[in-house]
A and B are shown apart, each in its own frame.
Chain A
Amino acid sequence: MFNDLNPLLHQQLRLSVMSLLMNVKEADFTYIREKTGATAGNLSVQINKLAEAEYIQVKKSFKENYPLTTCSITSNGRIAFEEYVTSLQEYLKPTK
C-alpha cells in the first residue's frame, strides 16, 4: 500500500529548499536563491508556505544595515522530509 506523497513537499521549489536545508544548519535567502535558481518572489512565497507548516524556521535580522533572512529546518520539517523520501522510495521500488 502506497502512502500519498506530502503535497507540500511534492513541488519543485519547496522540495529544493527542504533538500538544501536538510544538508546545512542554516542558510541565507540569497544562498537558497542562488542554489535553486528561483526568483525572489516565488522563493519568498514558497518559504512562507513551509514556515506556516512549521517545516522551516525563518529568522529576520540585519547584516551591515541590510535585511537578512536566514532559514533553517525544524524537527517537524526533518520528519516530514524523511517520510516523503520513504514514500518516494516505496513508489520507485520495482513491483513484483
Chain B
Amino acid sequence: MENEKSMMSNEESLRIIRSMIESTKQDLRDNGSWFLLWGWLVFIACMTHYILMEIGYDKPHLAWMLMILGGVLSFIKGLREEKSQKVKTHIDEFMKHVLVAFLVSLFIVLGFMSKLGLSTYPLIMMVYGFWLYISGGVINFRPLRIGGIINWVLAIAAFFVEFELQLVLLGAAVLFGYIIPGYILRNNYNKAVKLNPNTSKESYV
C-alpha cells in the first residue's frame, strides 16, 4: 500500500472497495468440518445401535457413547478454531445464537427422552431440520436447506414407524442433512483455496 500522499482515482477507489469485499467473502466459506464430524458420529452411532439390536445385544444404546467422543473432539476443535480466528463476521455472531437455540432445543428433547418415548427421534430430526435449514439460508447453500427439508420429511415419517426403523431414518437424515452437504462444502472450499491460496483455513459457521 502506498502512503498518504499517493493520488487515487475514483475508479481506483471502487476497485479497492470491491477487492476488499471479495477478499472477506472468501473467508466466509465453510470447510464443512463440523457437519462431517457430527454427521459421521451420529450416523455410525445409529447404524451400530441398529446392528447391535439386530444381533440381540442387550445394551445396544451403548453405541451412543460415541457422542461423548464427539463432545471432547468438538471442545478441542472449538478451542483451536477460537485461537486461530483472526476475524469475526456478522454471520459468526448470528450463527452463535442459532447454535445455542439448536443445542438447547436438542438437550430438552434428549433430557425428556423417557417421557417422549417413540417421539424422541422424530423430534430430534425436526430440530436438525430447523438448524440445517437456517444454516443453509444464512450461508446461501442449497444442499443444507434441502437437507433440512429431508430431515423434516423423515421426522414426519418417523412418527409412524417402529423404533428400529426410526434408527435407519435418523441415519438417513444425518446422511442427507450433514454428511453429503459436508462433503459438498469441503469440495467447494478446497476449490476456493486452490483459486485463492489466501482463503482462511477456518470454518466460520
Q: Select from chain A the residue with minimum beta-carbon distance to B3.
A: A42
Judge whether A37 is part of the interface by a CB distance below 8 angstroms: yes
Main secondary structure of the interface of B (DSSP, over half): helix
A85 CA to B20 CA, complexed, in Å: 14
Judge whether B65 is part of the interface by a CB distance below 8 angstroms: no
Tell me if B24 and A23 are in contact (CB < 8 A): yes
- By a CB distance below 8 angstroms, the chain A residues around B14 are 88, 92
Contact indicator per residue, chain B 9-50, by CB within 8 Å of chain A (1) or not (0): 011111011001101110000000000000000000000000
Which one of B87-95, B111-119, B144-152, B159-167 is at the A interface? B87-95
Contact of A20 among B1, B11, B24, B93 (CB under 8 A): B24
Tell me if A37 and B24 are in contact (CB < 8 A): no
Tell me if B1 and A37 are in contact (CB < 8 A): yes
- By a CB distance below 8 angstroms, the chain B residues around A46 are 4
| A96, chain B: closest CB distance, angstroms | 18
> In the complex, which residues 68-87 of chain A have their Cβ closer than 8 Å to any Cβ of chain B?
85
A24 CA to B27 CA, complexed, in Å: 10
Residues A19 and B11 in contact in the complex (CB < 8 Å), given A25-B90, A25-B92: no
Tell me if A15 and B16 are in contact (CB < 8 A): yes
Judge whether A34 is part of the interface by a CB distance below 8 angstroms: yes
Q: Select from chain B the residue with minimum beta-carbon distance to A35.
A: B23
Tell me if B8 and A23 are in contact (CB < 8 A): no
Tell me if B1 and A12 are in contact (CB < 8 A): yes
A23 CA to B204 CA, complexed, in Å: 14
Judge whether A27 is part of the interface by a CB distance below 8 angstroms: yes
Residues of A whose CB lies within 8 Å of any CB of B are 5, 10-13, 15-16, 19-20, 22-28, 30-31, 34-39, 42-43, 46, 63-64, 85, 88, 91-92
Residues of B whose CB lies within 8 Å of any CB of A are 1-4, 6, 8, 10-14, 16-17, 20-21, 23-25, 83, 86-90, 92-93, 198
